[in-house]
Amino acid sequence: MSVDPTLPVLINDQGTFLNNCSNTISQTPLVELAFLSNVSQDSDGTEFVINLNPVCLVWCDFQNLFFTSNSGAFWINPAAANSCAISINRQTYESTQKKCIIFNLVEQVKKAWSVKNSKLEGSIPPQVNLLLNKYSIYNNNLSTANYAVGLSLDQVISQLLANNQIVPADSSNYATVQFTVTYRYYFKLLDVTLLVNFNYITKIPCFKNNQNCDFCPYSNANQNCRPCFNVPDDNTIGSFLDGNLNQFEEYSVDLNNAARTVMTDNTSNYLANIIDSDTVNKSGVGASTVISDSSGSVW
């Protein structure tokens, strides 16, 4: 299988502390909340990815930071622009050598350029170094992004419910969820693109995590997927029609000198064949009852 050369190449040389693995598997849902960038154009080259250590926020702070109070649309609260939670150079990340390394945007850009071009960082011209440090001052937090696409609060809850990751609960419960905000920083003079993943863990009130791991595919095999209508009085077609005459249009035709009553369902297409022999006997000799739906199918 060939690789599309127009797609960005993702490079992540970030390891885990001491190369240790985890003995536990997290059941915390992960939601990609937003994508931010300091430029609006798409990347067409190599992208270097770094995952930051999670920031824990109480729900009120998380909601005020990323969602407007009225519509619940995604935003970066201007009043919280100086918050450490969205400050780029106040984050940490984990690597093989250390569990908490201070993230520095300028150093990461230089490292990415060195890897991409197979050159030493000292090969970067002095004037480019000065501009890199200058621009990093103006791109010091997520609120300075020039391009943003994010989920609203309603879309976040709908996605979690649709994926059966959380379920409604009372006010004494909460659902732990991790959100990822991806920030892309492009430095044109060095043609370097960084993808920095900010991770936030919060607890959504009035919901709870759905940690049901039961897997019995045939446990409900003898049950109907959808409920059918109930027909009273020993399931006779007459009793059913008596209670539902307002849903049907009745008309008669002469066929083989026998009275034949045709009932047409104008509202539903899934009438079941529930005519039994007792119904035919009760209707008289030579008479029959026919049910047809609006598509013309006859039972």
Return the higher-pLDDT residue of 272 and 213.
213
DSSP 255-286: ETTEEEEEEEESS-S-------HHHHHHH-TT
pLDDT given for residue 29 in this prediction: 96
pLDDT given for residue 223 in this prediction: 67
The one-letter amino acid code at 217 reads P
Q: Are residues 162 and 154 in contact, defined by beta-carbon separation less than 8 angstroms?
A: no
Mind listing the pLDDT tens digit for each residue in 200-242? Answer: 999 999 999 998 887 777 766 666 666 666 655 555 555 555 6
CA–CA distance, 264 with 255 (Å, rounded to integer): 17
pLDDT given for residue 271 in this prediction: 43
Mind listing the pLDDT tens digit for each residue in 22-80? Answer: 898 888 999 999 999 999 887 778 999 999 999 999 999 999 999 998 899 999 999 99
Question: Which of helix, strand or coil describes residue 169?
Answer: coil
End-to-end alpha carbon distance in the chain: 53
The radius of gyration of the chain's CA atoms, rounded to the nearest angstrom, is 32
Instruction: Give CA separation, 190 vs 9, 106, 113, 141, 172, in Å.
Output: 16, 12, 7, 21, 52
User: In the chain, which ranges are continuous DSSP H helix?
Assistant: 59-66, 105-117, 126-138, 153-162, 232-235, 237-243, 277-283
Global model pTM greater than 0.85: no
| Domain regions of the chain by residue span | 9-209, 232-293
